[in-house]
Structure 1
Amino acid sequence: MVQSAWWAECVPGSARLRWIGRSLAGGRVVLALAIVAGGAARASELSLATGLEYTSGKYGDTAASTSWYLPLVARYEQGSFIFRATLPYLRNTGAVSRTPDGVAIPGTGGSQEGFGDIVLAAGATLWSASDFSVDGVAKLKLPTADPGKELGTGKTDWSMQFDGVQRVGPVSVLATLGWKKYGDPDGVDFRNPLFARLGFSWRLSAVTSVGLYHDWRERLRPRGSEVSETTAYVSVRLDPTWKLQLYGVKGFSDASPDYGAGLMVSRIY
């Protein structure tokens, strides 16, 4: 499952990254990258988003395990600050249950579903020029999922990351570097990994953009695998308040899904 992603938006004459986010490297795509043209940034803005994602992977096992992920995302922007809350609903089936933040834990072999862990995030623009900007983002995962259903680890995690975007005409290059502190379930000692993303977005028109990015994360255990997965997407602004994103995911390691696909819809208020 893919999660961080930003929902990024660059307006003409500005390279500011406006994210609502995906939880980086090894989680599901809550919102994929999107760079689209628009008007001047608002002093304050509220948006709500939801969607549906399906992923399938073996994660080192012999048979595939599958996951359905339905997030509810609320984002509020005030000046250079952005706040976000995500509540996911999960349905995992198979011998491996992968949490939205990219942790593979033993599944029940059958199907389990329920609400997952709540993720809170806060970010601010640290530096901005006409064609380049850097944001700082802090995230906190609260252990609200039922660990008995293997929908979460039952522990609190937190992370810090820096997101940068460089715009050159209709093309924007995006990069992320971060570090995450995982809570350790009983009998497990997770490493605290670095994670990164590199990608680009190409604005085809004032309402449509396409892009590609790759996520990487260090292994969580000495015998584990690194996250390595690529996402391609298309984003369309349906009108001044509605956006639609479609995306596909391809994994390249045992810590990533073999494949996945999803969509997100958001509305600005």
Structure 2
Amino acid sequence: MALQIKKVFGILALAAPLLSPALLRADDVHYAVGLGCEFASGSYGTGIRTDSVFLPFTVAVYPTQRLDFSLELPFVYQSTGAVVAGQYMTMQGQTGVAQPAMLAGSMMGGGMRTTASASEVNTSHYGLGDTKLKAGYVLYTEEEYVPALRPNFYLKIPTADKNKFLGTGAFDEGFALELSKWYGDWFADGEFGYTIQGKSEILAVKNYLYYYAGGGYQLGERLRPMLLVKGSTATTEGGGPLLELRLRAKYQLSKELGLDGYLAKGIETASPDYGLGLAVSYQF
């Protein structure tokens, strides 16, 4: 435990100079809170279907126009112990006013199972999921022919009970680069990152590359539908890649209140067969 704590402080110490808000500070500090509900179902190559529910509560802080920090604290339910299914559920895109950038999380590869015994596999589990800390900085703002560039960093803290297979029981950290560009009412954005997974006692995990890419259209002032693909390389030894297609829509009820929903269809074996989610956010 002492070694893990030192590791956390080491990561934060390295990241602090890059995330300093002293370079550009807004007149007012902005905040956002969000609450989501997501469902996914699939066998993930194990031959055992697992239904999962993911309820993330998110708090975000924006000290400047470029800098953002967020904390995600989820509640997780899954119908079996065959996979760490709660890790599949993260909403693609951040609720609130931050740039879209929330793929981080351990995702199990196709055909790989946890160390659950026969009795544990057939038992449903629920409880607190893994906590995620994230920081992003808009390094370069959008120009006529150049997209906006936003590096981001995240740390996963293993607050989920690994004995219930709600998490891997290890710290993960990752970094990514997000790009976004508007063309009139059309827009495109994507993210490409790398996750370093901590050693797990319940899964033979490995480091992996992850990505999402998509685009959409702004319909009036309130509605923004979009289509995107989301995936990663194999995240476990002997596992397969992940890939899914998502139809997503954001609707702004007011200046402060927004809705964000999606429908998902898995393409690769390691992805959920299907999923859906809805989140509400309030910024102030």
CA distance in 2, matches of 1:197, 1:178: 9
Relative to structure 1, the CA distance from residue 129 to residue 51 in structure 2 (aligned partners, 3 Å threshold; closer, same or farther) is closer
1:145 aligns with 2:154: no
CA distance in 2, matches of 1:215, 1:187: 25
When you count strand as a share of all residues, which structure comes out higher? 1
Question: Counterparts in 2 of 1:154-173, with a 5 A limit?
Answer: 154-173=169-188
Q: How far off is 1:102 after superposition?
A: 4.0
Q: How many residues align?
A: 229
Describe the SS at the equivalent of 1:261.
strand
Q: 170-179 or 101-110, which moves further after superposition? A: 101-110
For residue 59 of structure 1, what is the aligned residue in structure 2? 44
CA distance in 1, matches of 2:226, 2:44: 26
For residue 107 of structure 2, what is the aligned residue in structure 1? 103
Question: Counterparts in 2 of 1:56-135, with a 5 A limit?
Answer: 56-79=41-64, 80-94=66-80, 95-100=82-87, 101-104=105-108, 105-106=113-114, 108=120, 109-131=122-144, 132-135=147-150
1:47 aligns with 2:50: no
When you count helix as a share of all residues, which structure comes out higher? 2
Larger radius of gyration: 2
Structure 1 gaps of 5+ residues are 1-40
Q: How far off is 1:93 after superposition?
A: 0.7
Describe the SS at the equivalent of 2:40.
strand
CA distance in 1, matches of 2:123, 2:202: 24
Alpha-carbon displacement from aligned partner over 1:195-233 (angstroms, at most 9, x marks no partner) = 111100210111110001111211123421101011111
Q: How far off is 1:97 after superposition?
A: 3.3
CA distance in 2, matches of 1:134, 1:64: 39
CA distance in 1, matches of 2:47, 2:172: 29
Q: 105-114 or 80-89, which moves further after superposition? A: 105-114
CA distance in 1, matches of 2:275, 2:173: 25
Amino acid at match of 1:185: S
Tell me, yes or no, if the aligned pair for 1:65 and 1:97 is still in contact at 8 Å.
no
1:235 aligns with 2:254: no
Amino acid at match of 2:44: Y
Describe the SS at the equivalent of 2:163.
helix
CA distance in 2, matches of 1:63, 1:222: 19
Question: Counterparts in 2 of 1:21-32, with a 5 A limit?
Answer: none
CA distance in 1, matches of 2:275, 2:204: 29
How high is the TM-score relative to the length of structure 1?
0.81
CA distance in 2, matches of 1:202, 1:165: 13
CA distance in 1, matches of 2:133, 2:202: 27
Q: How far off is 1:43 after superposition?
A: 4.3
CA distance in 1, matches of 2:107, 2:256: 34
Tell me, yes or no, if the aligned pair for 1:172 and 1:202 is still in contact at 8 Å.
yes
How high is the TM-score relative to the length of structure 2?
0.77
Tell me, yes or no, if the aligned pair for 2:142 and 2:181 is still in contact at 8 Å.
no
